[in-house]
Amino acid sequence: MTKWLIIGEVMVLTEGEAPYQRIETEVLRTVGGNRTREQALVELRKEAKKYRPAALKGTACVVGQESDGSFLILPKKSGKGHVRCTVRLIEEA
C-alpha cells in the first residue's frame, strides 16, 4: 500500500555578520489508504492553500503551483525577510 507524505520546506535567509540560508523541512501530513497519486495531489493542493510556516504567520501570502506539481507560498509584500516555502508530495519509501 502506497503512503504519501506532504512536506513543507521553508528556506530562510538569516542576515547578520555571516548571512546564510537554512532549510527547515517538516511532514505536514500523510496520505494513505490506497490513495492514488492523483488523489494525493488533490490533498496536496488543499494543504498548500491552508499551510503557513512560522516565518509567514500573520502575513498575506500568495500560493502558486510549479510545473512539477509542488506549490510555492510567498509573501504578497516584502518585509518578512527572505522566506520561500515549498509544499510538495513525496512517496514514502
| pLDDT, mean of residues 69-84 | 80
Confidence of residue 10 (pLDDT cuts 50, 70, 90): very high
- Sign for the CA dihedral angle at 58, 63, 68, 70 comes to positive
- How far is residue 46's CA from residue 81's CA, in Å, rounded to a whole number? 26
Q: How many residues does the chain have?
A: 93
pLDDT at position 13 over 70: yes
Residue 50: the pLDDT is: 94
Query: So what's the pLDDT on residue 20?
Result: 78
Mean pLDDT along residues 61-86: 85
Phi/psi at 62 (5° precision): -120, 140
Query: 27: alpha, beta or left, given left = phi > 0 and alpha = psi -120 to 50?
Result: beta
